[in-house]
Structure 1
Amino acid sequence: MSGPDFIPAAVRARLKDLRLAGRRAAGGHGFGQHRSRSRGAGLEFAQYRAYEPGDELRQIDWKLYARSDRFFVRESERDSPLTAWVLVDATASMAQGDAARPGWTRLDAARALAACVFELALRQGDRFGLAAISGDGLQLVPPGAGPRHRDRCLLELQGLRARGDWPDETRLRPLWERIAAGQLVLLLGDDFDEGAVVLMEKLSAARREVLNIQLLTAEERDFPFRGGHRFRDPESEAELIGDGAAARADFLARFAAAREALQARLAASGVRRVEYFLDQPLDAPLRRLLAPQAAERA
């Protein structure tokens, strides 16, 4: 049974010119997968092996089956498969949305962007896994490949609820056991938790390829409030009552400074970061992260 489809048809069509790749796999010179003698569904025939549950039926050599009455999968040499991890911030602040796009929250955007990454990995024959981080701790779907694994990840995304604070480091230790050096990590979150930023820095320092899409509301970008407003922190429940127009200039200046500081901090750690505002096209941040890779490979 197929999992939920978080990707609008128009966005799905635009994904065809994007490709996941890791620059560290290519020795640090641009982005691109490296050539190796791994086996998969490539172009040059390498060998036969016995069919295993989960293999795609199109890989079975039916002529050989007719002669031997046994299922064999035809393997070929191909580029080394990438392993991509999507880390989703599912803390309470991810439930926030705004009037620019009613009914669309940060977590909704994270689900849809994660689904796009899974689709790209599936098309490439790569492995992908999911880690959701919330006040409940860590929910993991270890890396796998194929349509069934994609559907499993999508069902896990569908069940996510934004709750609690960012957990302490001890509860995130399984990430270090699962995410190996050289693997690609994309963190989707609002980046408001110091723990999330520290995690990205440490993963990058440990030779993981780390990308980040910061999910922000249009109201945070524009601060369109007028008159008296009650502003509430969704995680701490702290409230502030103030006049929107009077607070606008100060908020926008502080918000811009905070984003610039985060950009510089992550860049210094080798983490590529882009922003996504909830009123923008879904594939816009992926295009900014991944389209340059295609240009460098050309």
Structure 2
Amino acid sequence: MAVSTRLIDEHKAVRSAGLQQAALDLAEAMPRLALEARRVAATALHGLHGRRRAGQGENFWQFRHFAPGEAAANVDWRRSARGDELYVREHEWDAAQTLWLWVDRSVSMNLASNLAQTSKLERALVLCLAFADLLVQGGERVGLIGLARPTSQRAIIEKFALALMAAAPPAAAERGGLPERIALGPRSEAILIGDFLDEPEVTGGTIAALAARGARGHLLVVADPIEETFPFAGRTELIDPETGAKFQAPRAQDIRQAYEARLAAHRDALRAITHRYGWSMTLHRTDKPASQAVLALHPLLQQGEGI
């Protein structure tokens, strides 16, 4: 018993030291990630449009030409008096909607194989900050689940970067790869970014809680290419980064088909869960540019409906 207790204490000490080092690494990397996020947002912005549109609201949006058949009361006579055309003042559609972002900071997100451009964690952070910047530029209010209240400040990248760094102590990282189970508002929309390797029913429970009041959402699944292709052959030792458990495969190629089948079943289960709640799921590999994920997911935000 004494030996077992000592080994458990040593494991906890090593894990705690590792998490503290991860927090320091994140703080060191964050300025670089913030710059990358700003570059990704600028690259994607050329092909994207904000979600602002005409409708019932109090804020002026734009002038448009008066259309034949419209009521004369719609004409903005002050603007029309400047020229020979009739103009109508349109107001911005106002649904008091808030977008919430969340990033998985669990240990499994540190994976960065030699086939990837970066680790899953760094890519997830870049995507989170890039989405925040794009959404604020589009006139949205954006928050970080459990970390930062919704805001439309232009300095959103710096604000969220500080919040994410402050949330990296061991106690936060040990909570695992899913956000807190809180019910978001009915006019809320969430983007959850992570690898979602928990059992599908666990992820489903989190989605059910977040969507309990009608909030919509999207899973952005970040994967390393070796997780998708399983390029191993011969004697291979596989290690679970969360628990430290090890598995020896004498001929790794012999289990590739079973691995691929299990991964496909896991993804199918996640898609079924997201579909059940009207959410969407998008896969992004870390050997692809971050802008691809932004361009793939942003149209779903514009549509106002999941897939």
TM-score, normalized by length of structure 2?
Answer: 0.68
Give the residue type in structure 1 aligned to 2:111: Q
CA deviation after TM superposition for structure 1 residue 185, in Å: 0.5
Match of 1:128 among 142, 148, 155: 142
Give the residue type in structure 1 aligned to 2:120: R
- Whether 2:118 is the aligned partner of 1:99: answer no
Give the residue type in structure 2 aligned to 1:252: E
Please list, as runs of the form range in 1=range in 2, the aligned pairs for 1:259-298 lying within 5 A after superposition: 259-291=267-299
- Whether 2:258 is the aligned partner of 1:250: answer yes
- Whether 2:258 is the aligned partner of 1:238: answer no
2:45 match: secondary structure: helix
Give the residue type in structure 1 aligned to 2:256: R
Counterpart in 2 of 1:53? none
Please list, as runs of the form range in 1=range in 2, the aligned pairs for 1:1-298 lying within 5 A after superposition: 4-7=34-37, 9=39, 12-19=42-49, 21=51, 35-39=55-59, 42-43=61-62, 77-80=91-94, 82-101=97-116, 104-131=118-145, 139-158=146-165, 161=168, 163-166=173-176, 172=180, 175-176=182-183, 179-194=184-199, 195-242=202-249, 243-291=251-299
Deviations 1:12-53 (A, max 9, x none): 2223323465xxxxxxxxxx86723243x7336xxxxxxxxx
Instruction: Note if contact 2:211-2:277 (Cα within 8 Å) is conserved in structure 1.
Output: yes
CA deviation after TM superposition for structure 1 residue 294, in Å: 5.4
Moved more, 3-12 or 245-254: 3-12
2:36 match: secondary structure: coil
- The change in CA–CA distance for 1:11 and 1:168 in structure 2 (over 3 A counts) is closer
Instruction: Note if contact 1:19-1:120 (Cα within 8 Å) is conserved in structure 2.
Output: no
Deviations 1:205-229 (A, max 9, x none): 4200111101111001111012212
Instruction: Note if contact 1:90-1:160 (Cα within 8 Å) is conserved in structure 2.
Output: no
Instruction: Note if contact 1:190-1:214 (Cα within 8 Å) is conserved in structure 2.
Output: yes
Quick check: which one's helix share is greater?
2
- The change in CA–CA distance for 1:123 and 1:130 in structure 2 (over 3 A counts) is same
Q: Where does structure 1 differ by over 4 angstroms across 4 or more consecutive aligned residues?
A: 158-162, 292-297
- The change in CA–CA distance for 1:151 and 1:11 in structure 2 (over 3 A counts) is closer
TM-score, normalized by length of structure 1?
Answer: 0.70
CA deviation after TM superposition for structure 1 residue 284, in Å: 2.0
Instruction: Note if contact 2:177-2:198 (Cα within 8 Å) is conserved in structure 1.
Output: no
Moved more, 283-292 or 105-114: 283-292
Task: Tell me the distance in 1 between the aligned counterparts of 2:57 and 2:278.
Answer: 29
Percent of aligned pairs with the same amino acid: 21
Deviations 1:72-116 (A, max 9, x none): xxxx942325411101111121112212125x1111111111112
Instruction: Note if contact 2:45-2:134 (Cα within 8 Å) is conserved in structure 1.
Output: yes
**Structure 2 runs not aligned, ≥5 long:** 1-30, 64-89
Instruction: Note if contact 1:125-1:146 (Cα within 8 Å) is conserved in structure 2.
Output: no
- The change in CA–CA distance for 1:19 and 1:192 in structure 2 (over 3 A counts) is farther
Task: Tell me the distance in 2 between the aligned counterparts of 1:110 and 1:267.
Answer: 23
Task: Tell me the distance in 2 between the aligned counterparts of 1:294 and 1:165.
Answer: 32
**Computing the radius of gyration over CA atoms, which structure comes out larger, 1 or 2?**
2
Deviations 1:231-258 (A, max 9, x none): 1111121111113212212111211121
Counterpart in 1 of 2:10? none
**Structure 1 runs not aligned, ≥5 long:** 22-31, 45-75, 132-138
Instruction: Note if contact 2:108-2:242 (Cα within 8 Å) is conserved in structure 1.
Output: yes
Task: Tell me the distance in 1 between the aligned counterparts of 2:109 and 2:235.
Answer: 25
Instruction: Note if contact 2:100-2:190 (Cα within 8 Å) is conserved in structure 1.
Output: yes
Quick check: which one's strand share is greater?
1
